A = this chain, B = another copy of it.
Amino acid sequence: MTVEFISVGTEILLGNIVNTNAAYLSERCAALGLSCYHQSVVGDNEERLMETVRLGLSRSDILILSGGLGPTKDDLTKEVTAKVFGRELYEDEHTKERIKEYFRRVRSGQVTPNNWKQAMVPEGAKVIDNHNGTAPGLIIEADGKTAILLPGPPNELMPMFERDIAPYLNQLEPEGIYSKMVKICGIGESKAETMIADLMDAQTNPTIAPYAKTGEVHLRVTAKAADEEKAKELLSPVVDELYQRFGDKIYTTEEDVTLEASIVELLDGQGMTVTTAESCTGGLLAGRIMNVPGASGVYREGYITYANDAKERLLGVKRETLMEHGAVSCQTACEMARGAAKAAGADAAVSVTGIAGPGGGTEEKPVGLVYVGCNVKGHVRVEEFHFTGNRDKNREYTVARALTLLREELLKNCKDLQNGDQP
């Protein structure tokens, strides 16, 4: 079956917001085994919206429209789609109650009269409750075609899709689509693809689709099966095979676990704390770790030490080291990682020192040269990187590589412990 997305909103046409909904829906529908050949954006204009809906229905089985379900007169998606399907609108009592309740709970106030417009739904449409806003989702079916209307705000659209739309799409075909996400760090995209080229060439069911993220590769393994049990039978051997090939580089097989969350879990499991000492990344590495709710259990303090003086005073980096080898050097990264752990009384420390650019590079130490140090219980490892992006990209990649290094060293520490070595 084919799916097509229509994003409705003048604010997207004006470039006021980036269309992240389309990227999200694309990835999720691909994972559900639906083929998407077209996406479009159209403003809040009756005639153009109607044309676009008609064109979409003429060439795709399922149309997902997002946006334009708000309470104002500008919001036309529901009205126009109902017209195309030849349906009248009526006031849905259940939705009216839900909106009333929503206002009571969240806005602690009176419903504004134009919000009742959102309780109007097309005849025969399935009404999907919105747990994060007022506009309900709607599913309209006719003649083998389906239109799904979703609210535009991502924090309403995404939970609604996960909770109600994905299961609905999954039951449209006799065989459901089930997938497992295998997330890998520390291996580049092309190398990862080479390592599974034979699997990808031979694949029919399940299939493997690689997604490149900064410093990570995500492999989505997707199976068609009659039920979840059968899907598991198909997926498990492929996931096992991927573990055979990538081993420890796989940090999770859970959809919603990030690299930093997997690290916080590792630390937590070993009862360890971590600190950071950053130069060119200036707080971004700490910021990634602190993204994780509850990270405060394993991360208590960190240092941003751009100036040499700060590296000496806060981290105890030796002046001779800075004089002899420079601030951007393997030696300095090493002493930063040692000093940070000591200063914070932490079990582990990650240090970053480098030249993010655009200025500050020399022949000997060009822009993009970065050293990352990792200290786990006194064992320090330093890696040298040569990035080729702009300032932003270099810092982003540095953070990803620093997290990857920390994870590797924490895993080593785990194994040493299991082997009975002294930590």
Interface residues of A in 156-211 (CB under 8 A from B): 209, 211
Q: Does A276 make an interface contact (CB < 8 A)?
A: yes
A282:B293 contact, CB within 8 angstroms = no
Instruction: Let me know if A91 is at the binding interface, CB within 8 A.
Output: no
Residue of chain B at shortest CB distance from A17: B23
Which residue of chain B has its CB nearest to the CB of A210? B16
Which of chain B's residues have a CB closer than 8 A to the CB of A48? 37-38
Q: Which residues of B contact A371 (CB under 8 A)?
A: none
Q: Closest CB of chain B to A231's CB: distance in Å?
A: 21
Please tell me how many copies of the chain the complex holds: 2
Could you tell me which residues of chain A, from 295 to 346, have a CB within 8 Å of some CB in chain B? 295-296, 299-307, 309-310, 314, 344
Assess whether A286 is interfacial by the CB under 8 Å rule. yes
Q: Is A13 an interface residue (CB 8 A)?
A: yes
Among the listed B28, B41, B52, B283, which residue makes an inter-chain contact with A304, where contact means beta carbons less than 8 Å apart?
B283
Closest beta carbon of chain B to A133's beta carbon, Å: 13
* Closest B residue by C-beta to A357: B293
- A368, CB-defined interface residue at 8 Å: no
Asked if A249 is at the interface (CB within 8 A of a chain B CB), the reply is no
The residue of chain B having its C-beta at the shortest distance from the C-beta of A25 within the complex is: B15
For A7-18 the 0/1 string (1 means CB < 8 A from B) is 000001111111
List residues of chain B with CB within 8 A of the CB of A36: 13-14
Whether A300 touches B306, Cβ cut-off 8 Å, given contacts A13-B39, A18-B18, A20-B18, is yes
Closest CB of chain B to A379's CB: distance in Å? 24
Partner of A15, one of B15, B30, B284: B30
> Are the CB atoms of A26 and B14 closer together than 8 Å?
yes
Interface size class of A (residues with CB under 8 A): 35 or more
Q: Which residues of B contact A285 (CB under 8 A)?
A: 283
The CA of A207 and the CA of B159, in the complex, are separated in Å by 38
Whether, in the assembled complex, A281 has its beta carbon less than 8 Å from a beta carbon of chain B, the answer is: yes
Residues from chain B with a CB closer than 8 A to the CB of A269 are none
> Does the CB pair A283–B300 fall under 8 Å?
no
- Any B CB within 8 A of the CB of A72: no
Q: Across the two chains, which residue of chain B brings its CB closest to A294? A: B359
| 31-53 of chain A: CB within 8 A of chain B | 36-43, 45, 48, 52
A16 contacts across to B, CB distance below 8 A: 26-27, 211-212
Closest Cβ of chain B to A223, distance in Å, is 18
Binary contact track A409-420/B, C-beta < 8 Å → 1, others 0: 000000000000
Known contacts A15-B26, A15-B27: does B293 contact A391 (CB below 8 Å)?
yes
Indicate if A358 sits at the interface (CB-CB under 8 A): yes
Does A385 reach chain B (CB closer than 8 Å)?
no
Which of B283, B289, B309, B359 contacts A286, CB < 8 Å?
A: B283
Given the interface contacts A293-B391, A359-B293, does A38 sit within 8 Å of B27 by beta carbon?
Answer: no
Given A300-B306, A307-B300, A39 and B12 contact (CB-CB distance below 8 Å): yes
For residue A48, which residue of chain B has the nearest CB? B37
Mask: chain A, 38-82; 1 = CB below 8 Å from B; 0 = not: 111111010010001001000000000000000000000000000
Nearest B residue to A300, CB-CB:
B307
Indicate if the CB atoms of B40 and A26 lie closer than 8 Å: no
Chain B: minimal CB distance from A161 (Å): 12
> Please, how many angstroms separate the alpha-carbon atoms of A12 and B20 in the complex?
11
**Is A90 among interface residues, defined by CB-CB distance under 8 A?**
no
- Do A314 and B293 have beta carbons less than 8 Å apart? no
User: Which residue of the partner chain B has the closest CB to A273?
Assistant: B307
Partner of A358, one of B155, B212, B293, B303: B293
Which residues of A pack against B, CB within 8 Å? Answer: 12-20, 22-30, 36-43, 45, 48, 52, 55, 155, 209, 211-212, 276, 278, 280-287, 289-291, 293-296, 299-307, 309-310, 314, 344, 357-359, 390-392
Give 6 CB contacts A-B under 8 Å: A14-B27, A14-B209, A37-B43, A283-B304, A291-B391, A293-B359
8 closest pairs, A vs B, by CB?
A: A15-B27, A282-B290, A283-B283, A15-B26, A283-B286, A301-B310, A302-B304, A300-B307
